[in-house]
Structure 1
Amino acid sequence: MTVRLSRIQLALFFILLCPVNIIGLWWAVGSPLVMDPNSICRKAKRLAGKQAELCQTQPEIVSEVAKGARLGVRECQYQFRYRRWNCTSHNKYFGKILQQDIRETAFVYAITAAGVTHAVTQACSMGDLLQCGCEATRNRAPPRPPSSSSSSSSSSSSGEGVKWEWGGCGDDVEFGYEKSKQFMDAKRRRGKSDIRTLVDLHNNEAGRLAVKLYMRTECKCHGLSGSCTLRTCWKKMPHFREVGDRLLERFNGASKVMGGNDGKTLIPVGQNIKPPDKQDLIYSDESPDFCLANRKTGSLGTRGRICNSTAMDISGCDLLCCERGYREETVVFEENCLCRFHWCCVVQCKKCLVQKELSLCH
């Protein structure tokens, strides 16, 4: 089966396989790529040793890496849907974004690393990969009683006197974490200034930790007549929307850094600023305002974007339109209406014309 990738998906996948200093070369690839691991590996040049080995011996993992990149793309577009830069899929402009060390690039790297971690781990749990499976729990400490929100048990037992044990099929996030690290943290060519490499590696790790450090416990009760004499528990990954929400918070509070004199450390810019921890996103250059189209910075501008004329947040017309004003436009479209359920089992709907007033940025 041929699966056609959008240009942004294709580009993000090549980010995983290529050193930072040659990312721009991949934007010359204009044709869609067949989602076949062998084709991907043939087209990706200058692979690091571990990556080349995976391409040759474990192409099924390469396919999961690609799925993770697409997962990251979709989440990026959701999280930035109301912002001036909305994770646009325009090839020639997106490449310019990746060449800058700004907050938006930090989010792209983090969400992609998280997506690869999530997709590979999920494939393990689903039995789609021979190299991994459910998490091994033999050496793990006994589980703590989970909160009511994380437990899948329908029992109303308070948990007193209930025996606990690990079981089920827990997500082997360590395997997904390592494969994401193997692809995302490829050896980069060391130059006079290594700030960009340090920043990218930090943001990759922040993305992976947004999955790894927030595993939740799920349990199931066992016993006669609805009793809960034993609970079997396992670890599951957070939903990816939760991962995206968490990384967006880190994006909003991202720290600006500069390189230390030794070329191996990063120093926060500004007075009385604490050093960023491993989960924080970091950047070294200020973002453009993205108000007007600019090929040099990769900005498409916000002209023609839909805004909310009554909102006071980032989706509001004042902010999104950069105070240029907006116009009201009536749009007519079709949608399903007067739907009826017919036994069994068909839902039939009519098509109705609907008018909607949209606010569009000048």
Structure 2
Amino acid sequence: MDLKMILVVVFFFLICPVNIIGLWWAVGSPLVLDPTRICRKTRRLRGKQAEICQNEPEVVREVAKGAQIGTVECQFQFRHRRWNCSTSRRSFGKVLMQDIRETAFLNAITAAGVTFAVTQACSAGHLLQCTCDRSIKGISTDGDWEWGGCGDNIDFGYKKSREFMDARDKKGSDVKTLILLHNNEAGRIAVKNYMRTECKCHGLSGSCTLKTCWRKLPIFRDVGDRLKEKFDGAAKVMAGNDGLSIIPVGATIKPPAKDDLIYSEDSPDFCEPNKKVGSLGTHGRECNHTSQGVGGCELLCCSRGYEKLQQNITENCRCRFIWCCEVVCDTCAVLKTIFRCL
């Protein structure tokens, strides 16, 4: 089983149930978080993936959580686009099997999510193999502050994400595998290279005579924003003459950096349902009639037109604060105008 097919299996059995069975799956389903779900459904795993499945089921559990984190962020970043990162069985697997820009983002955000989840689990004490990072404790700086505390162990999270997401067999040297490995690395870099510094003041009466600082994971929304920018500027590539490298399509295009996203196939327009490419179409999608962007009715509806509808919704209103400490709201019926693609 090649690496791309393994990823499809992982996504189907860890992520698709979120939409099929409801929100309950997303917030703690034992099926989704069961580490044996990946390993049991991919018995032909080999090498490092098989080793992790056998010896580190708690790490695989964090891999599952990371896949969920990545998918939720994908759905946020693509919520206004024609392909909105739907986890429908008719769409998700088909998109993953291609080498389009959307697939590049999916692979990158998933690798980022796994890196993030495993690193977070280390700091929380959920993994026996690692702890938070004390490796730079005590190193002096410019005198205003010093390293201390217990930072997030990004090195371990990066390592486990790479071991599991990049595992491949000996035949995995084709251009599709090279693209997949490149985008996985771009996702991990979007986490590792943007660690934050957090500090705590020490001193009498709240003074800040000395600050102790440590390294902390970036906000994952920032990771998603960063990878979405890379998606917008993704480079189309092809195999090099040696068959072991990738080069940009076009003589004037600079080679992609390690943190860039790359792809080899043009994306479908996703306007109409198409089972072959995983397109669900945009018929019936809600759009913004005043926007000129990708979520605007002209682009999202693929110039087919749109309709104006009146819809009754309920929302909280007349909220007030009651001492102490509660916010109480009334429920109001509101007539909302929405626009949907024809």
Residue 43 of structure 1: CA displacement?
Answer: 2.2
Among 326, 331, 342, which residue is 1:351 paired with?
331
Task: Name the stretch that deviates more: 240-249 or 311-320.
Answer: 311-320
Displacement over 6 Å in runs of 4+? 25-32
AA in 1 matched with 2:163:
Q
- Secondary structure of residue in 2 paired with 1:207: helix
What CA distance in whole angstroms lies between the structure 2 residues aligned with 1:64 and 1:358? 39
Q: How many residues were matched structurally?
A: 328
For 1:19, the aligned partner's letter is L
Structure 2 CA distance for partners of 1:138 and 1:25, relative to 1, 3 Å:
closer
Q: CA RMSD in A?
A: 2.3
Structure 1: distance between partners of 2:251 and 2:179: 20
Superposition map of 1:5-154 within 5 A = 19-21=3-5, 33=31, 35-138=33-136, 142-143=140-141
Q: Which amino acid aligns with 1:124?
A: C
CA shift, 1:27, in A, is 8.4
CA distance in 1 between partners of 2:140 and 2:108 (Å): 32
Shift of 1:331: 0.9
Contact 1:188 1:197 in 2 (8 A): no
Say if 1:18 and 1:186, in contact at 8 Å, map to a contact too: no
Partners of 1:181 and 1:22 in 2: CA distance = 15
TM-score (norm 2): 0.89
How big is each residue's C-alpha offset from its partner over 1:60-118, in whole Å with a ceiling of 9 and x where there is no partner? 11111111000000000000001111001211221111111000000000000000000
Query: Residue deviations 1:141-185, cap 9 Å, x none?
Result: 5446xxxxxxxxxxxxxxxxx443211121110000000001100
How far off its partner does 1:277 sit?
0.6
Matched, 1:329 2:309: yes
Query: Could you tell which deviates more after superposition, 123-132 or 61-70?
Result: 123-132
Structure 1 unaligned regions, length at least 5? 1-16, 145-161
Matched, 1:176 2:182: no
TM-score computed with the length of structure 1 as normaliser:
0.84
Q: How far is 1:339 from its partner? A: 3.1
- Secondary structure of the structure 2 residue equivalent to 1:91: coil
What percentage of residue pairs aligned between the two structures are identical? 61
SS at match of 1:40: helix
| Residue number in structure 2 paired with 1:339 | 319
**1:194 aligned partner, one-letter code:** D
Unaligned regions of 5+ residues in structure 2, if any? 22-30
| Pairing 1:185–2:166 present | yes
Q: Structure 2 matches for 1:157-168, cutoff 5 A?
A: 162-168=143-149
- Relative distance call for 1:54 and 1:25 in structure 2 (3 A) is closer
CA distance in 1, matches of 2:63, 2:191: 15
In structure 2, give the amino acid aligned to 1:270. G
Q: How far, CA to CA, are the matches of 2:203 and 2:2 in structure 1? A: 53
